[in-house]
Amino acid sequence: MNIFEEWFGPDFSKPSFLVGRWIWLRALGGIFFSAFYSLYFQIHGLIGPNGLLSAEAYLEAVRHMIGWKKYWYIPSLLWIDASDRALDVLVWTGLAASVAILFNLWPRVSIAVAGICFLSFIAVAQDFASYQSDGMLLEAALLSIFLAPRGLRPGLAAAQPPSKASLFMLRWEWFRIYFESGVVKFLSGEPQWRNLTAMDKYYENGPLPTWIGWYVQHWPHGFHAGTAALTLIAELFIAWLAFFPKWSKRIAFILTTPLQIGIILTANYAFLNYLVLSLGFLLLDDDVFRLRAAEVSGAPQKPSYAATVVLPVIFVTTIAAFFMPATFLEPFRVANRYGLFAVMTRARYEIEFQGTADGKTWIAYPFPYKPQDVRKAPGIYAPYQPRFEWNLWFASLGTWLDNRWVLNTEVRLLQNQRAVLQLFAGNPFAGKPPIAVRAMQWQYWFTSVEERRKTGAWWRRELVGQYAPTARRMPDGTIEIETESSP
């Protein structure tokens, strides 16, 4: 047996990883489903022809700028058509492929279809696709095509065990998510990680906290210091156990899984932590599940020639990306650099859109998920990802000049644009559009235990000021931006 057969062909040696593969692939289908389900309610408002960052307009601009290179730098099926109908087809195709993965139907093809559909969205979503979790999913999907068994209904596929190379590469992704996150924390010089205070306000200041996070926030500093230390230990040291014999892999799974569950319960990071948690099952051999299917003897099978090319390229590119920018595969988001929470957010700001029908009374547009009503308990929404509200949290940390889609939102609200209004929980101007819309900035804090007992409020907030210029409809129907409100 040569090295290609050993690494890229089915691996019949023990221990086997059939159950771990089966669990991971079902989880991958569920994660894809959550991603497309989220887009079902948002895609038209985000990138539709009447959305905040029109994919049609973006693709047209790219077409004129870079010509034939457009297909490499923007790898998307939406080059064919980026209309609302095409967006619907993209989402429904992705949902169907996700269900097929969940039910183990033609897994290799189904993963490829789901991945292509998701990449087609990510490639044109512009500011709404700047999250590391998107790259994690696309990388995992590509690698999983080589992990998944062949066939229409392969079941556990004991006669097609995963290759060493495909298992290694998915564990390599799992490792990099942890280790690179630990490295950036160490190299950033962030004092909150060095003095173990990084978790003291973490639950309050993340994109979408949960009600459980409110309670954990009030636990003693010793607990928060301990979780900060555990995070660093897990990322910088425990993650290495993935490359040692099976008991080390099991220990890595046992020690990191509670960390991911804790994050899921206290913060809403979309599908990110579900993906990392589920990848961990590839560390568990079949003996953990008391399965003896690995005793099946397999007929000699040729290695996947595509895998012998793709997997080494991904491996080399990710190593290079760790030390320097590696742009070769960047448009496809399959060989990524990771690094979570290098610098901790020190305050929570929220942007609120307000409209007026008379120029005097301003009424807020309600959000379905992000903090706004101080008496509304923070919910648990993940793996659902409200990308618009996530982006508002990031925008609140900068200026509108770096987030001009905030002004686009004001204009669309002035027009009572249905697609954009679906990103909100309601429309206070359903009968007649407002004459002006503005974006205000608030600072939020969790209430203390005593404040919550007295008032029932989960949050307290103070107005910071106006975040962006006001958009106003003029008597002739045109829309003007009041530049005097700009910073």
Tell me which residue of 133, 151, 147, 132 sits closest to 25, measured CA to CA: 147
> Is 305 exposed, middle or buried, given 0-12, 13-18 or 19+ CB atoms closer than 10 A?
exposed
Give bridge partners of residue 443 from the DSSP assignment. Answer: 349, 462
Beta carbons within 8 Å of 460's beta carbon, 6+ residues apart: 374, 444, 445, 447, 451
What average pLDDT does this structure show over 364-369? Answer: 98
Q: Strand order of the sheet with strand 348-356?
A: 362-364, 348-356, 436-446, 459-473, 479-481
Domain ranges of the chain: 3-332, 348-485
Q: What's at 366, amino acid-wise?
A: P
pLDDT band at 326; cut points 50, 70, 90: confident
What average pLDDT does this structure show over 324-329? Answer: 81
**CA count, 13 A, side-chain hemisphere, 427:** 18
Mean per-residue pLDDT of the chain: 94
H or E element, residue 466: strand 459-473
Rg (Cα) of the chain, in Å, rounded?
24
Residue 100 scores a pLDDT above 80: yes
pLDDT band at 300; cut points 50, 70, 90: low
pLDDT band at 295; cut points 50, 70, 90: very low
The secondary structure of residue 267, as a DSSP letter, is B
pLDDT band at 294; cut points 50, 70, 90: very low
Give the lowest-confidence range in 21-25, 154-158, 287-291, 432-436: 287-291
What is the DSSP code string of 137-185? Answer: HHHHHHHHHHHSPPSSS-TT-TTSPPBHHHHHHHHHHHHHHHHHHHHHH
What average pLDDT does this structure show over 243-260? Answer: 96
Residue 296 scores a pLDDT above 70: no
**pLDDT score recorded for residue 265:** 97
The secondary structure of residue 287, as a DSSP letter, is G
